[in-house]
């Protein structure tokens, strides 16, 4: 969706000239797949609503996702020097600029919702509530602290599941729930469930691919191995991990039926995301 790129560029154009702006442009236009806004916008489209006027409500999620990646790469967290095949923000710029770029993206994201004239006042409040709940201390950030605490520790599959829910599923859920708010539907809870299964399946697949593919085929470093982090395969073994995956895919397909999105653009998008080979 080229409009996503265009709108992100026009947001960057509004920023005052500074190293902060350069860092935000570097990371925000740095090759993200835009999975989260695409899923939410495609859900609207599949329900017969043109997503274009509401694009900012979905870019909020992309901006928060981007801030989380910048902070996740910092020396105090995962200490990564490469992301998307390029130097991470604190390497390309410096640590202070990376911290501030994340802070700015998080804070500016709320303005994207507030300034959207197509949303009612109530919808804006509902969307901000969703974002704060899914990204904050009960959501993604909680997942990050759980992840840090889990390193070199024995954790259960329930712990891992919760971490994946918080770190990966929560922002996908936020995007689908935002679509639910715009559709004024009673189905926000079901969209939340749909996001849960999409996120979990995405992560379990990642664990399986990381285990079964060579680093060259996988296309990124086998980071979980290196850091001795628990994965679905290390906790359950490959066969059981595959069994859980099959079970989750079946549940996801039932939900797709229930929500009347089978054979729509949304269904195609979900399949594209979950049928990846690396």
Contact residues for ligand GRG, defined by CB under 6 A: 32-33, 35, 68-69, 71-72, 77, 84, 140-141, 144, 167-168
Query: Residue 17 CB, nearest distance to ligand GRG (Å)?
Result: 26
Closer Cβ to ligand GRG, 106 or 261, answer by number: 106
CB atoms closer than 10 angstroms to residue 15: 14
Shortest Cβ 67–ligand GRG spacing (Å): 7
Q: Which is nearer to ligand GRG, 88 or 168 (CB)?
A: 168
Query: Under DSSP, is residue 164 helix (H, G, I), strand (E, B) or coil?
Result: helix
> Cβ(233)–Cβ(211) under 8 Å?
yes
- Nearer to ligand GRG by C-beta: 8 or 119? 8
Distance CA 150, CA 205 (A): 20
Q: What is the DSSP letter of 168?
A: I
**Shortest Å distance, C-beta 81 to ligand GRG:** 15
Query: Between 112 and 172, whose beta carbon lies closer to ligand GRG?
Result: 172
Torsion over CA: 165, 171, 175, 178 (sign): positive
The residue among 54 and 164 lying less far from ligand GRG, judged by its C-beta, is 164
Q: What is the smallest separation between the CB atom of 190 and ligand GRG, expressed in angstroms? A: 22
State the Cα–Cα distance between residues 194 and 178, nearest whole angstrom.
13
Considering the complex, what minimum distance in angstroms separates the CB of residue 89 from ligand GRG?
12
In terms of CB distance, is 179 or 204 closer to ligand GRG? 204
**Residue closer to ligand GRG (CB basis): 171 or 182:** 171
The span from the CA of 218 to the CA of 171, in Å, is 24
Min. distance of Cβ 79 from ligand GRG in angstroms? 12
- How many angstroms separate the CA atoms of 191 and 123, rounded? 16
The CB-of-62 to ligand GRG minimum distance in angstroms stands at 8
CA dist 180 and 144 (Å) reads 26
Beta strands in the chain (DSSP E): 82-83, 86-87
Length of the chain: 278
Cα 176 to Cα 87: distance, rounded to the nearest angstrom? 31
């Amino acid at each position: 969706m080229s409009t996503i790129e265009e709108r992100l560029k026009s947001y960057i154009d509004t920023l005052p000239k500074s190293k902060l702006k350069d860092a935000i442009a570097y990371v925000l236009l740095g090759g993200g797949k835009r999975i989260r806004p695409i899923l939410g916008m495609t859900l609207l489209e599949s329900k017969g609503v043109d997503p274009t006027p509401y694009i900012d409500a979905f870019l909020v999620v992309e901006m928060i996702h981007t801030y989380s990646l910048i902070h996740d790469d910092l020396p105090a967290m995962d200490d990564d020097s490469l992301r998307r095949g390029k130097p991470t923000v604190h390497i390309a710029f410096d640590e202070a600029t990376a911290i501030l770029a994340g802070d700015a993206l998080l804070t500016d994201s709320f303005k994207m919702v507030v300034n959207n004239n197509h949303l009612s006042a109530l919808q804006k409040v509902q969307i901000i509530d969703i974002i704060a709940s899914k990204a904050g201390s009960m959501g993604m950030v909680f997942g990050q602290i759980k992840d840090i605490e889990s390193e070199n520790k024995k954790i259960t599959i329930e712990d891992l599941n919760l971490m994946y829910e918080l770190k990966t599923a929560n922002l996908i859920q936020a995007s689908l729930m935002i679509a639910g708010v715009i559709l004024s539907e009673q189905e926000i809870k079901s969209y939340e469930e749909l996001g849960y299964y999409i996120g979990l399946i995405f992560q379990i697949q990642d664990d399986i691919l990381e285990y079964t593919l060579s680093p060259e085929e996988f296309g990124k470093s086998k980071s979980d191995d290196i850091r001795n982090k628990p994965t679905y395969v290390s906790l359950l073994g490959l066969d059981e991990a595959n069994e859980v995956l099959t079970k989750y895919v079946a549940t996801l397909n039932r939900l797709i039926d229930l929500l009347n999105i089978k054979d729509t653009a949304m269904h195609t998008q979900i399949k594209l995301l979950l049928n990846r080979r690396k």
